[in-house]
Structure 1
Amino acid sequence: MGIRDERKAATLRGIRAAALDLLEEQGFDAVTAGRIARRVGISERTIFRYVPSLEAAMLPAEGEFSQAIMACEIPSGADGAGVLRVLLGACREILLHEVGGNEFRRVSRLMAVEPRLLLVATRQEQELVAAVTEYLVGRGLLPRMEALLVGETLATAWRVTWQCFGAEERAGRPADPLELFDRVVASLAALVGEPSE
Structure 2
Amino acid sequence: MGKRDDHKAATRRQIQQATLDLLETAGVESTTVASIAERAGVSERTFFRYYDSKESAAVPGQGELLDALLSRELVPGASPAEILRELIDACRQQFAYEVEQVQFKRISRLLLREPRLLQAVSRQEMHLVDAVSSALTERAALTRMQAQLAAELIACTWRVAWQCFAREESAGRTSNPADLFEQAVQGLSVITAPEAFGR
Which category describes the TM-score, using the shorter chain as reference length?
over 0.9
What CA distance in whole angstroms lies between the structure 2 residues aligned with 1:50 and 1:192?
A: 37
* Match of residue 150 from structure 2: 150
* Match of residue 127 from structure 1: 127
* Match of residue 96 from structure 2: 96
Deviation at 1:161, TM superposition (A): 0.4
- TM-score, normalization by structure 1: 0.95
Deviation at 1:32, TM superposition (A): 1.5
Deviation at 1:178, TM superposition (A): 0.8
What CA distance in whole angstroms lies between the structure 2 residues aligned with 1:93 and 1:31?
A: 32
Gaps of 5+ in 1: none
Cα displacement string for residues 87-106 of structure 1 (whole angstroms, at most 9, x for unaligned residues): 11111111111010122211
The one-letter code matched in structure 1 to 2:129 is: V
1:11 maps to 2:8: no
Secondary structure of the equivalent of 1:142?
Answer: coil
The percentage of aligned residue pairs carrying the same residue is 46
* Match of residue 192 from structure 2: 192
* Match of residue 51 from structure 1: 51
Q: CA RMSD in A?
A: 1.3
* Match of residue 69 from structure 1: 69
Secondary structure of the equivalent of 1:77?
Answer: coil
The one-letter code matched in structure 2 to 1:52 is: D
Cα displacement string for residues 94-142 of structure 1 (whole angstroms, at most 9, x for unaligned residues): 1111010122211111111111111110110000000000000011100
* Match of residue 171 from structure 1: 171
1:99/1:105 contact within 8 Å kept: no
- Count of aligned pairs: 197
- TM-score, normalization by structure 2: 0.94
Deviation at 1:2, TM superposition (A): 3.9
What CA distance in whole angstroms lies between the structure 1 residues aligned with 2:86 and 2:51?
A: 27
